[in-house]
Amino acid sequence: MATEEAEYSVSLKEDQFEIREYAPSIVAEVIVYADFEDASNDAFRSLFKYISGDNTRRDKIEMTSPVSQKAEPEKIAMTSPVAQRASGKGWAVSFMMPASYTMETIPVPENPSVSLREIPAYRAAAIRYSGGWSEKSYKKHLASLREWIKQNNLTVAGEPVWARYNAPFTPWFMRRNEILIALAP
């Protein structure tokens, strides 16, 4: 059975690197305070319960991919503009919602730790790789992506997002992983 994935088009491909144009989407998100490798497991139960019917309409929502993880931003009030930075204290773990939903039609989570967030269309640099879900592998590929962005004189406009596409029982060598970094238009 095919799993719906985030919609994007590729505007540049070079080895394992791509520049992508992403369509708007909605995510269900949980903030967890755990180390890198435990964050996804800690958030998964709440997110899975939400798509399994723990919502105001008791609707079951189809599973999509990827499951994403990024450092939780810390909002800092300023006069203008409002700036954000990674706090290093938590991780935002999210499930992308099916494209058929809008913010007006998506069921509201019963669990207050699950929030719904609309992501506008954006441009991103991406690196795709296979393998296990370790912090060491993530950091190695993130360094490669950052170097590629630098070599191509691209302007970063967001924090890295780690995207995983496969179920935990998928053999490590068959797993699809990506790291995305939003770019300035």
Q: What is the pLDDT of residue 2?
A: 60
8 confidence band (pLDDT: 50, 70, 90)? very high
- For residues 69 and 91, the answer to whether their CB atoms sit within 8 Å is yes
- CA 112 to chain CA mean position, Å: 20
Q: What is the pLDDT of residue 86?
A: 32
How much is the pTM? 0.84
Q: What is the pLDDT of residue 78?
A: 29
Distance (Å, whole) CA 138 – CA 160: 10
State the average pLDDT over residues 59-75: 75
Domain count, the chain: 1
Domain harbouring 33, CATH code: 3.20.80.10
Q: What is the pLDDT of residue 70?
A: 81
72 confidence band (pLDDT: 50, 70, 90)? low
pLDDT at 89 over 80: no
Residue 79: domain span: 4-183
State the average pLDDT over residues 161-179: 87
53 confidence band (pLDDT: 50, 70, 90)? very high
pLDDT at 166 over 90: no
